[in-house]
Structure formats: C-alpha cells, structure tokens
Structure 1
Amino acid sequence: MPHLTVHVLESDLAGRETELIAALTDAVVAVYGEWAREIAVVQLVGLPAHRWGIGGRPALAPSPRVTFGIKEAAFSRPDADAIVAGLVSGVTDAIVAVFGERVRSGVDVELVGTPAGRSGIGGTVVTS
C-alpha cells in the first residue's frame, strides 16, 4: 500500500489537513489508478518551527518533506522510471497546490522501497 508521511511546519499545516490529504491521495491515484485510493495512507506530522533545523540552525521556512513508502518491486518494473517520475512530480504538485509555489524548490520526496517479507499488517508478514 502507498504510505506517505509528510513533515511540515505546524503553523503551515493548521487548517489545511483535509485539503493536503485529498491532494496527496489524488497524486497517488493519478499514477497507480483509482484502485489505490482506498489503500493510500497519508500521515501528517506538524512540527513547531524550533524543532526543524537546517544547517545547524532552526529553519525559517522549510518546505515540506515527504517519505513515500512503496513495495520495492515497483523499482524493478519496466515502467519504474515513469512511476518514480510520476510520483515525485505528482506529490510535489500536490504539496504546491496546498502551500503555494514558494515551497516547490525545496519539496523533498523520498521513495522508500520495502522488500517483500520485510513488513507486516495485523501481525502477519506481507510476502508480496
């Protein structure tokens, strides 16, 4: 299942949660198809400004950071380059749609592949 964890300043996030969840879910659906809507997980982590540092100092206006967990097998598909490009651009566009163009250049999207057999749901190892 696609799993997105978004770190963003709490002051930027407040009041935009529903809009951001919908936009990120739509970005996932645009790449994978409508079947992914019901299994896409979005977690929003709002941080106080003094708890986000860049370069050894508190960051003044950091762009959101997204960790996107997907199955590692997605990276070995023949269309892997298109999937990666679509997810990175779609997630970035979704973030920009909610927070504005000022964040685009710093939006960080990290795709993290989980190998089969290295995760579990409900106490059972997922093997596919």
Structure 2
Amino acid sequence: MPHLSVHALESDLAGRETALIRALTDAVVAVYGEWARAIADVRLIGLPPHRWGIGGTPAQAPSPSVTFGIREAAFARPDADEIVARLGTAVTDAVVEVFGERVRAGVTVELVATPAGRTGVGGVVAP
C-alpha cells in the first residue's frame, strides 16, 4: 500500500486538501496503474509557520515535503531506477498542480523503504 504523508504550512494547505489528495492519488495511479487507486493512503499534515524551520530560523514559504512509504522490494526490481524517477516526477507535478509553480524547486519527495514483514495491519504483521 503506498503511503504518502505531506507536510505543508497550514495556511497553504487550507482549502486545497481535496485537490491535493486527488492529485497525489492520480500520481500514484500514473506510475503503478489503476489497481493502486483504492489503496493509496494520503495524509496531509498542516503546520503553523512557527513550527517549520530551515537553516535555524522559521521558514517563510517552504515548499511541501512528501514522504512516500514504499515496499523495499520495489528497489530490487530491474526497473527500480525508472520507478523511482517516475514517482519523484509524478508526485512533484501533483504538488505543483495544487500549490503552483513557485513550490517546484523546493518540493522534496522522500521514498522510504519498508522491508517485508515490518508492517502490521490490524494487529497482524503484513507479508
């Protein structure tokens, strides 16, 4: 299950939640296929400006950052480099679609690998 957590300033996020969830889900589908739509999990985390710092001071206009949870096995596939590139591009484009071109240069997409057997759902370890 692809998990996307987005950190953005609350003031930037307000009113854009539905559009961002839709755009990020569409980005996942563009890379993985329609089967992934039903399991794409998007979580939006809005931060007040004084709770996001860059360079030791509160950030003035940070671009959203996305943490994308992905199965570790995806990095072992022969097409892993292509998948990583496509995910980075598709997710960045989705964020820009919602927030505008001004954020593109600073959008961060971090792919975080989860080894098999290291996730639990409903109290049961998922394979």
**TM-score, normalised to structure 1's length?**
0.98
The Cα offsets for residues 71-125 of structure 1, whole Å up to 9 and x where unpaired, read as: 0000000110111001000000000000000000000000001000111101110
Residue 16 of structure 1 corresponds to 16
- Which residue is equivalent to 1:43? 43
Which consecutive unaligned segments of at least 5 residues does structure 1 have? Answer: none
For 1:12-91, what aligned pairs fall within 5 Å after superposition? 12-91=12-91
Aligned residues: 127
| Match of residue 102 from structure 1 | 102
- Where in structure 2 are there 5+ consecutive unaligned residues? none
Query: How far has the Cα of 1:16 moved from its partner?
Result: 0.3
CA RMSD of aligned residues (A): 0.4
Shift of 1:36: 0.1
Structure 1 residue 34, shift from structure 2 partner: 0.0
Q: Secondary structure at the match of 2:113?
A: strand
Aligned AA for 1:65?
A: S
Provide the C-alpha distance between the structure 2 equivalents of 1:122 and 1:79, rounded to a whole number of angstroms: 32
SS at match of 1:125: strand
Q: Distance in 2 between matches of 1:61 and 1:44?
A: 17
Measure the CA separation in 2 of the matches of 1:43 and 1:81.
25
Given residue 11 of structure 1, which amino acid in structure 2 is its aligned partner? S
**Letter matched to residue 117 of structure 2:** G
1:37 and 1:78 mapped to 2: Cα distance? 24
SS of the residue 1:8 aligns to? strand
Percent identity between matched residues is: 77
